[in-house]
Amino acid sequence: MEKSGIIILNYNTLKETNECINSIRRYTSVPYHIYIIDNDSDDGSGIELEKIYQNDKDMTVILNRKNGGYSAGNNVGIRQAIKDSCRYIFIVNSDVELLNDAFSIMIQTLKEDSRIMMVGPSVMDLNNQESQLPREKLNFKTFILERHPFCYIPLFKKKAYRKIDINVDNPTIFRGSVSGCCFCIKSEDFAKIDFLDEREFLYYEEDTLAYKMDSINKYAAVEKRAKVLHKANISTNKKGNAFVQYHRWLSVLYMLKRYAKINEGEQFFVALWNTLTWDILSIKSKNYRKMRKSFSEKNWSIVKEKFNE
Q: Which residues pair with 34 in a beta bridge?
A: 6, 59
Residue 112 burial (CB < 10 Å; 0-12/13-18/19+)?
exposed
pTM equals 0.94
- Which run of H or E residues covers position 215? helix 205-215
Burial class (CB in 10 A: 0-12, 13-18, 19+), 117: buried
Interacting residues of 51 by C-beta distance below 8 A, sequence separation 6+: none
pLDDT, position 163 = 83
Whether the CB-CB separation of 132 and 123 falls below 8 Å is answered with: yes
Q: Are 114 and 28 in contact (CB under 8 A)?
A: no
Helix (H) or strand (E) run with residue 35 in it: strand 32-38
pLDDT at 175: 96
Q: Is the peptide bond before 149 cis (omega within 30 degrees of 0)?
A: yes
Q: For the chain, which domains are there? A: 4-134+166-235 (3.90.550.10), 240-304 (no CATH)
Distance from the Cα of residue 21 to its chain's centroid: 19
pLDDT at 309: 61
Q: Write down the pLDDT at residue 292.
A: 97
Coil, helix or strand for 90? strand
103 vs 282: CA distance, rounded Å: 44
Torsion sign over Cα 7, 104, 124, 198: positive
Mind listing the pLDDT tens digit of every residue in the chain (309 residues)? 799 999 999 999 999 999 999 999 999 999 999 999 999 999 999 999 999 999 999 999 999 999 999 999 999 999 999 999 999 999 999 999 999 999 999 999 999 999 999 999 999 999 999 999 899 999 999 998 888 777 667 766 666 678 898 988 899 999 999 999 999 999 999 999 999 999 999 999 999 999 999 999 999 999 999 999 999 866 555 667 999 999 999 999 999 999 999 999 999 999 999 999 999 999 999 999 999 999 999 999 999 999 876
| Cβ(193)–Cβ(212) below 8 Å | yes
Enter the DSSP assignment of 176: S
